[in-house]
Amino acid sequence: MTMASPTTRQSVFSKLVDTGAHQKLLAFASLIILLIGFSIASPNFMQTSNMIAILQATSVNGVLAVAATLVIITGGIDLSVGTMMTFCAVIAGVVLTNLGLPLPVGVFAAIAAGAFCGLCSGTFVAKMKIPPFIATLGMMLILKGLSLVISGTRPIYFNDTPGFDAISLGSVIGDVFPALPIPNGVLILFLVAGGTAWILNRTVLGRYCFALGSNEEAVRLSGVNTDRWKIAIYALAGSIVGIGGLVIASRLNSAQPALGLGYELEAIAAVVIGGTSLSGGRGTIVGTLIGALIMAVLTNGLRILSVAQEWQTVVTGTIIILAVYADMVRRRKTA
Amino acid sequence: MTMASPTTRQSVFSKLVDTGAHQKLLAFASLIILLIGFSIASPNFMQTSNMIAILQATSVNGVLAVAATLVIITGGIDLSVGTMMTFCAVIAGVVLTNLGLPLPVGVFAAIAAGAFCGLCSGTFVAKMKIPPFIATLGMMLILKGLSLVISGTRPIYFNDTPGFDAISLGSVIGDVFPALPIPNGVLILFLVAGGTAWILNRTVLGRYCFALGSNEEAVRLSGVNTDRWKIAIYALAGSIVGIGGLVIASRLNSAQPALGLGYELEAIAAVVIGGTSLSGGRGTIVGTLIGALIMAVLTNGLRILSVAQEWQTVVTGTIIILAVYADMVRRRKTA
Amino acid sequence: AADKPYVPLISKGFSHQFWQAVKIGAENAGEEFNVEITFEGPDNEGQVDRQIDMLAAALAKKPAAIGFAAVDSQASIPMLRKIDEAGIPVIAFDSGVASKIPVTTTTTDNIAAAALAADKMAEAIGGAGKVAVISHDQTSRTGIDRVDGFVNRIAEKYPDINVVSVQYGGGDHLISTEITKSILTANPDLKGIFGANEGSAIGVVNGVKEAGADIVIIGFDSGAAQKEAVRSGLMAGAITQNPVGIGYETVKAAVMTMNGETVPPVIDTGFYYYDASNMDDPEIAAVLYD
Amino acid sequence: MTTLVDMQGIEKRFPGVHALKSVNFELESSEVHALMGENGAGKSTLMKILSGIYKKDGGSLRVFGEEWELDGPRAAQDLGIGIIHQELSLMNELTVAQNVFIGREPRKMFGRLDEAALNRDTAKIFKSMNLMLDPRTVVGELTIAKQQMVEIAKALSYKSRILIMDEPTAALNDAEIAELFEIIRQLKSDGVGIIYISHKMDELKQIADRVTVMRDGAYVGTVQAADTEVSQIIAMMVGREVSNETVEVPDLSEAEVVLEVTNFNRGREIQDVSFSVKKGEILGFAGLMGAGRTEVARAIFGADPRESGEVRVHGTPCAISKPADAVRAGIGYLSEDRKHFGLATGMDVSTNVALASLDRLTSPVGVLREDEIRSTAQEYIQKLGIRTPSERQEVRLLSGGNQQKVVIAKWLYRDCDILIFDEPTRGIDVGAKAEIYKLLKKLASEGRAIIVISSELPEIMRLSHRIAVMCEGRLTGILPGGEETTQEDIMHLATLRKPAMQPGGQIQ
Ligand SMILES: Nc1ncnc2c1ncn2[C@@H]1O[C@H](COP(=O)(O)OP(=O)(O)OP(=O)(O)O)[C@@H](O)[C@H]1O
Ligand SMILES: Nc1ncnc2c1ncn2[C@@H]1O[C@H](COP(=O)(O)OP(=O)(O)OP(=O)(O)O)[C@@H](O)[C@H]1O
Ligand SMILES: [Mg+2]
Ligand SMILES: [Mg+2]
């Protein structure tokens, strides 16, 4: 048992590695730095109301990023999260407004729609062996079109569904502690993130998620039905996107069929900034959340400083690169 | 030498495999099918003028896709091609219109600007070890912003540079054979593609491009200065994007600072449809060209058939997936 | 339907409600004058080259006339020449094309419209204080004109009003909402915001609602949500152009040209300011759309 | 004794390769049946068919007396057929335990994982193997040797009645091999039938009951291990006698010192290592797994950083910070892990052979001299007898041993005057081994300085003019080559530990 000492040391370290904790820490660092920087730069930045605004701005992209994380950990990529979100919102609109069915049905429909889309992408990838990039690019275009078709290129409003806007604008927390009126949208984000993190780290599905990303062939040779699991993961991601669709729809109290293009890159960026590797096998939800927050803080802060729009993009680009670079440096140190 | 007979047979076959010829063939097949299909569906489709229109529509995306192919073969990805193209166009505008320098200077400036941007992305990736996705995403945002800043968010016109529009609108071929007035833009695309294909298959740079994508560590341990080569490849890709910038600028006789977002996905799609693998190590320029053509034919054909715009995206998405699926089936047969 | 004359409309955008309204107008006219209509436009109002590809495809279909709203009129001139050489009349709509080629332009003066918005804003905030503008696009003609129209008028006529921020949300409701909230955070004493198109205006409404602020909102365009906001008084009022009219007049002019009738060089479809008080007047109600 | 497996007339074709030509093979319960053959003979392919990974093109496969068409690994597993693959197939980002039980994780309700049970069960298996390894270690951080042990543990965890071991000892040292044999004997007594593939002849006598030999994808014959001379088996494999001469140490007292390494240090992996190699000398590096030989080699070559230490080539100190520097200085390093560090497996043989020398194969403007690359590759395919349909074949499609030969070809062609070979004969058949030994000697006699790292003592003793021995990152001594040095001398130095410390993964 003389091995004990080095072994345990290593295993502690390795545990850190695969929960990606050091990445979290570091991503955290850049987040803190940003927050401090903006607080100094503008007195208006560090207010409860604005912090809540930032959280709310994170909610949609955050949910999409969580979904994207699942797919990316399997070594895939999902370009369809943006338009899929819109599609689910439109479905909810059709069910609730056009068909006038009760709220729960609409919620279910949106999530089911997402799951179904995920199922399709998953099948394309797993069964038809289409590269995830193409499969989800195709889905992105298809869903973009379908949203317009189904909605008749008109926004669908939820005026006749009382309580729909409460999904993301109401504040269960606020009702309990009036001091911090955190909107439900944010709550939903954290619930979704928590649930997904649990699935990733505690369930078989999560285990295969990592295993597939790490060495799919090895998993297959171990006699696992890799296709089925992969499809399941894409479907799960899809249903999460469905939730995202509900959050944005309820926030805008309408399904905007033209929305969603470009959201996919933002989501993926959040994931990668959060330290998840695009080559698959490693990643964390916490990291993704922080990644999404970094992006939201950045946009919000620059707007509050009334930085000219064209410069906002320049700064955003630079900081994204720097944040990830810091992460790399740190990683090389620890590894 | 019982191996002898199979050897020769094999080598022919394997030559096919690693020049990816069967993929080309198949991608070709889907292209032909599309052409035939549209010709049957509409008499207006198969006209010289329309074919030329399609080629012209391909030219810009084609050049960008060729650049993207280089980066993708190294196992990277380039999200910045779209806005980088715009940036180079704007630089040309500044040099030619604002500074009033002669045409060759402007051409050089645009290409140099592209090469420099590529150099930066390359350095981020090779030296700073930033994932290509993030490095180029950052560049995409930075260049988008800079284009707006430099141009003052207004288009820059090339009215005082006689002959600038000839770069892509004139027709050297047309002057010789009036029968087929193929615009220079198309000519440039094929020249660029030819040149790049030559570099990929005949030069060290090209060979390392594949090797890096196949197993970078092995190349490094063979005593190759991998970083330097990688940077060189990104720079080359950048200069090609610069050419793309010139083509579009001359086609619009102006540098449109707002252009370019979304073009990156289209370029990458063309690459992947052309049978280049996003995991790096294999790919062909011919494939990419065909990929780009497929996309252009698709868009043009659907418009000619007066398919409603919302349906156009649906169909495009579906056909992209099908085209790649056909490719996969074929590949599994041969492999 | 092949014997019907065919008139494609190549627009600057597609899915924005404004363009959808133009489309409806065009289709109505299509019905009325028995011509086949298609309506296409790039995803966002920057993609000049995409628009030119659309023109090329339209030309290949040997149309009787082409309706065209140029993203950048100069950039599209070579293509327009081709169309002209093919002897196909071009009817410009929305914003004009700097060229002799179009037989007529059915347009609406965005600068004047935005200036009217400025006047209404000034009136509503009592001629003094901070205001902000959220527009949809930094580079497109409509975006530029509406911002310039508003800002310049304020600068000329209202020295005590100060435009503290002009930001662009791409017409995306969500982004416009976020922008509104950050502007409100940055300027607690803000008096009013002008949302320069449907998406921006709704974004402002949402943002103000979420932030629980109480400021003057002037909108642009209509659409169900905006009408609702005006009716409820949340939005002081909004400018509406007559996109349905634009679409209709464009096709009508095309038909007249085909029939060899002469059309006026410019057909101004006008713009209107509407608020809770007048939005049910028949002539206003006629130009509002959902 | 019941017949577990009976394969008759098995056929398998790959594009351009007739890998199996009507091969017969049978396995009894409680026997160890060795499967021998040169690189590319078809051993792994045959086993992949038995384990359901490849579909056979012809022939009959009977398991437990019944005819079967295996349609995937799962089917084979359900039949109780387990396999240890020649190439490691592990998930580097996952922990050891997660790898061992992939696909069979102990679960709680609602698909929840029972991580505790997972680690407990894994620990149990390791205990039964006397393997000291924390189940929670991430596989990617283990040495190949330890990863190989994990593969073995995984195979055992299936409790298969038929266990295939494709070169399980390629990456192991003697101690671990001994331990593995213990495990095998245990399984045997439990009635398990074991198919054992190896290129290490000495292992036959120790463990095998019967030996089946293949050549060029064809079945040659089956013999009893006990009453068959190894030389005869080799003859069956290679089709000729393989010479087995020993080392004669040349007099190098006058020879120039080509490579001089002084005071190398890095953490606990490399501790104050200094040595030198002369022109025309073969310096062998012996040591147990984890001794740090690879680390030293990689540090010299600039593949890994070092905390301190100087390298002198031909007496002049040279700053080596990356492999490119080393190669420019005339140092070549053949890695012990061909798959990850040796080959661009997606590319063809000719490119891989030329990979380290492309600068020499290009015109000033950077245009490749394709024909020269091809002819060079063909030359080495001949020289090293690499079994490949053509120099355009992708390396990943070659058999393990032939892949190793490609790496060797790469460095031979680079033609450095200092060559470091790390486990050069790992997974290489006897015939080819002899060829490579000849080659190394020839290179030395041509005046190159050669370092050979090997975990096979016989190899070290057969090649080395001097033998450096390492233990836990320290150079514990340098012995003269030739007869007067015995295995015992080497093992003594190899286990000359600092008190109260033992190397990682060492079996007690
Ligand atoms: N997937 C494949 N495609 C094409 N050829 C293959 C494939 N797999 C194996 N081969 C060829 O089949 C032959 C037998 O390969 P195999 O791996 O069975 O040899 P082996 O006996 O295991 O050799 P080694 O001792 O080196 O592992 C070799 O010539 C190899 O190149
Ligand atoms: N990839 C790795 N990650 C972490 N530690 C490693 C790695 N490779 C080697 N080590 C450690 O470095 C030391 C020496 O490694 P290694 O086993 O390669 O030495 P070696 O003498 O070359 O043994 P062998 O060549 O027989 O494998 C061991 O303690 C091992 O645990
Ligand atoms: Mg083998
Ligand atoms: Mg080693």
Query: Quick one: which H or E segment has residue D260?
Result: strand D257-266
Is the pLDDT assigned to residue D376 strictly greater than 80? yes
Question: DSSP string covering C119-178, please?
Answer: HHHHHHHTT-EEEEEEES-SSSHHHHHHHHHHHHHHHHH-TTEEEEEEEE-TT-HHHHHH
What's the average model confidence in pLDDT over A199-210? 94
Give the ligand 2 atom nearest the CA of D455: 26
Task: Quick: pLDDT tens for B163-217.
Answer: 898 998 888 888 888 888 899 999 999 999 999 999 999 999 999 999 999 999 9
What's the average model confidence in pLDDT over B152-172? 89
pLDDT of residue B18: 45
* Cβ–Cβ < 8 Å for A251, C206: yes
Q: Which ligand is nearest to the CA of D42?
A: 1
Task: Quick: pLDDT tens for C252-278.
Answer: 999 999 999 999 988 988 899 999 999
Pocket test for ligand 1, best of D11, D12, D13, D14 (most atoms within 8 A of CB): D14
Is the pLDDT assigned to residue B334 strictly greater than 80? no
pLDDT of residue B21: 52
Structure tokens at D265: 């240090």
What does the DSSP 8-state code read for residue D362?
B
D140 to chain B, any CB pair closer than 8 A? The answer is: no
Ligand 4 centroid, distance to D292 Cα (angstroms): 7
Q: Which amino acid is at B305?
A: L
pLDDT of residue A275: 86
What's the average model confidence in pLDDT over C38-47? 84
B282 to chain D, any CB pair closer than 8 A? The answer is: yes
Rounded Cα distance between D426 and D459, Å, is 11
Shortest alpha-carbon distance between residue A283 and chain B (Å): 14
pLDDT of residue D384: 85
What's the average model confidence in pLDDT over D319-323? 92
* Cβ–Cβ < 8 Å for D217, D13: no
> Which strands sit side by side in the sheet containing D474-480, from one edge to the other?
D316-317, D308-313, D257-266, D270-278, D474-480, D466-471, D282-287, D449-453, D418-422, D331-334
Q: Say which of B138, B262, B265 has its CB closest to residue A321.
A: B138
Shortest alpha-carbon distance between residue A169 and chain B (Å): 31
What's the average model confidence in pLDDT over C137-154? 89
pLDDT of residue D221: 92
What does the DSSP 8-state code read for residue D355?
G
Is the pLDDT assigned to residue B5 strictly greater than 50? no
- High-pLDDT (> 90) share of chain C, %: 59
Task: Quick: pLDDT tens for D148-164.
Answer: 889 999 998 988 899 99
pLDDT of residue C283: 87
Rounded Cα distance between A26 and A23, Å, is 5
Tell me which chain A residues have a C-beta less than 8 angstroms from the C-beta of D92: 214-215, 281
Residue in the structure block whose two tokens are 């295969």: A208
D144 — pLDDT class (breaks 50, 70, 90): confident
Tell me which chain C residues have a C-beta less than 8 angstroms from the C-beta of B153: 138-139
Structure tokens at A329: 């440096």
Q: Is the shortest distance between the CB of D336 and ligand 2 below 6 Å? A: yes
CB contact under 8 A, A299 and C178: yes
Rounded Cα distance between D281 and D464, Å, is 8
pLDDT of residue A16: 40
What's the average model confidence in pLDDT over A135-163? 93
CB contact under 8 A, B221 and D15: no
Q: Which ligand is nearest to the CA of D215?
A: 1
Tell me which chain D residues have a C-beta less than 8 angstroms from the C-beta of B218: 340-344, 355
A25 — pLDDT class (breaks 50, 70, 90): low
A-D C-beta contacts closer than 8 Å: 95
Rounded Cα distance between B313 and B308, Å, is 9
Is the pLDDT assigned to residue D382 strictly greater than 60? yes
pLDDT of residue B175: 87
Shortest alpha-carbon distance between residue A302 and chain C (Å): 9
Rounded Cα distance between D453 and D334, Å, is 10
Q: pTM for this one?
A: 0.88
Is the pLDDT assigned to residue D500 strictly greater than 80? no
Q: Name residues whose C-beta falls within 8 Å of residue A175's C-beta, 6 or more positions apart in sequence.
A: none
pLDDT of residue B324: 87
Rounded Cα distance between B99 and B107, Å, is 13
pLDDT of residue A11: 42
What's the average model confidence in pLDDT over C173-193? 92
Lowest mean per-residue pLDDT among A157-161, B4-8, C209-213, D332-336: B4-8
B73 — pLDDT class (breaks 50, 70, 90): very high
Task: Quick: pLDDT tens for A251-280.
Answer: 988 999 988 888 999 999 999 888 888 889
Is the pLDDT assigned to residue B63 strictly greater than 60? yes
D118 — pLDDT class (breaks 50, 70, 90): very high
* Cβ–Cβ < 8 Å for A106, A92: yes
Q: C98 versus C137: which is more confidently predicted?
A: C137
Q: A133 versus C44: which is more confidently predicted?
A: A133
pLDDT of residue B17: 42
Q: Hey, which residues does D3 pair with through a beta bridge?
A: D28
**Chains touching B, CB cut-off 8 Å, 3+ pairs:** A, C, D
CB contact under 8 A, C40 and B60: no
CB crowding A16-42: b at 16 or more within 10 Å, else e: bbbebbbbbbbbeebbeebbeebeeeb
> Which chain C residue's Cα is nearest to A151?
C15
Task: Quick: pLDDT tens for A40-77.
Answer: 998 889 988 899 999 999 999 999 999 999 999 999 99
Length of chain B counted residue by residue: 335
Residue in the structure block whose two tokens are 């006749």: A160
CB contact under 8 A, A258 and C210: no
pLDDT of residue A334: 61
Tell me which chain B residues have a C-beta less than 8 angstroms from the C-beta of C81: none
Q: Considering only CA atoms, which residue is closest to atom 25 of ligand 2?
A: D294
Ligand 1 centroid, distance to D168 Cα (angstroms): 17
Which of D138, D142, D147, D288 should be substituted to probe chain A, the one whose Cβ sees the most A Cβ atoms within 10 Å? D138
Q: Which amino acid is at D241?
A: E
Query: Quick one: which H or E segment has residue D422?
Result: strand D418-422
Is the pLDDT assigned to residue B19 strictly greater than 60? no
* C in contact with D (at least 3 C-beta pairs within 8 A): no
Task: Quick: pLDDT tens for D183-203.
Answer: 999 999 999 999 999 988 888
Average pLDDT, chain A: 88
Q: Considering only CA atoms, which residue is closest to atom 24 of ligand 2?
A: D289
- High-pLDDT (> 90) share of chain D, %: 54
Give the ligand 1 atom nearest the CA of D429: 25
